[in-house]
Structure 1
């Protein structure tokens, strides 16, 4: 047996920085030193996710703590300015922020989705594109960023792509071949929802400088509505201020001067969970003067939207319908058609009371459903919302934002750098 000398009697062996004692021994019992290169441990740097182009990466990748950017904060005016420093109102706001349903964060996630999707759309929409491609690109972005395609999250209502004298409620049905032209004015109305909290915001695009004042008038009117909105503000008085702003503009088209008229039959509205127009107790925000003494209230969530026109300032229903929604308090009526019963199950499962369009039914694999859908409308279970047009030859524009009347301040949740 070979005896190993005690450590203190072993000869000192110097090792350079690249030598390592691996514990092996030679025939005399001495430790063998083999040269081994030290492996440098590579430090992995945490890389921040980068949004794709077009945007298709879910927002939870960028906000893992579930806290999303707040919108533009505006102080209340005059009589309500005290709310900003009130201990009671600040306490109520903290309680709202700690809501287990995460109401504010759901709204803000929808708003951030809206901003990213629309910024890409505004950069890329151009004459020569089909409305079908525009709508499907927008909606694909909404579903990806909001991380849902149903009642949990996703599209809040069909994407409105309304051209020229069509002011609202047009979205292409299957087979539509409409192509955007250079002289068109396009209103783009996008809805996003997260847990039923809908972000509703719209903008107008034009490639003809002669329409700039029309767009400016409507944007200014919407901003007036936002600025003047607040707790205890009477809706009829707010409509008067919006009207005054819009009617202070005029537009010259082809050498002829046109006054800009607010479309009196289209209004802003409250938004409640899964109900774009606020349900039974919904309130309307007019764009003209009225005697409505109804007041805005603390905690309410409003879409402030205005439409301006070079035409009559009134719209009528016309053309094929694309927009539908189950009525929130629909009667429980017996349905004769088996196909209508089946379609209603599809609607309840995938949309509830959220608005939908025929393209969404196509995506779900429904076919030959139009007769059943019309039967649901006739029975008062589903409402239809046909396109809305001002007079032929007129031009219309729209701008819209959603706001929360928080206890301490007003938050314009959908505000962005673009509008």
Structure 2
């Protein structure tokens, strides 16, 4: 079977879970064609990402002329289908915040993708995220008659589902994937109950061989916590700096490493300076996967005080590294992190509860932290093995395709 993966920006530092899924499917014998709208606009630091970039077709790099030519080529091949795809793009574009012009661009992209899917003789398409990549896959499916499916991660897709035509995509897809039971419940809210059986759960996964052995929990003090992710409002790093300031005022000796970058870097640096935390909080910038693992192994735990999430990969990686986790009672996180057993869960946005959790971790005995880490490692290895999860997805791909809407 050949599957065309339709993606927006790929590869990207925060999307390593897609690369793991693609490679796990290839290990199962599937042929995967990577088709992305655009490359990452920053510097790729991970060798695996660089390899993926070399294997990826980039639609917008073809230029406007090539996209228009693809419309004419596909129009000659399937005039009624290209007309229906254009009508679909216009219909959802008029109701979308993105607007009609962007959806006409998606239509041009879809014509090129459809042409490539036929040239590659791909059996089907699969997109990640329920936004524009899935729009392109849906339109390309209409043009080619070949089925499409997509994975929804959240939380962005759940904020304004009508604006991205998510209910339409769910109804027209052969199947849709959520990465947690919570995510599936949010998708079920959007469509008739008769569509629910086509909404599946496939977890994002880790590669167990990268965690065959884990470095023992550091015996040294002060306790070091690590936060990994894009610097944005929803990740809660600004609140975390406030919490660290209060932890220091209490006399608790703890350090924090922030791995990542993003639009809130300057406000974060300003807040660190304002609270005099320059010797307590360290920013590394983006790191490759090996660098992330080094930071996890050098830490006593992960802290992720997010306001909105799907089910973060960094939690899986921390637990696979036998590190306890502090995070929030939101989305799919409580499906993995068990409060009091593998870490601490606190209400999102509650600085006082976050301070208490950090204080408890920082003052816990090494044996308790090791026990939490061991239980967390066993749990994530059981639930998030990428080869097991890819086998589920491959099984869904292999099912008899549903007749596409006329």
TM-score w.r.t. the length of structure 1 is 0.27
Which structure dedicates a bigger proportion of its chain to strand? 1
- Asked which structure has the greater CA Rg, the reply is 1
Greater length-normalized contact order (CA 8 Å, ≥ 6 residues apart): 1
Q: Would you tell me which structure has more helix in proportion to its own residues?
A: 2
Normalization by structure 2: what TM-score?
Answer: 0.27
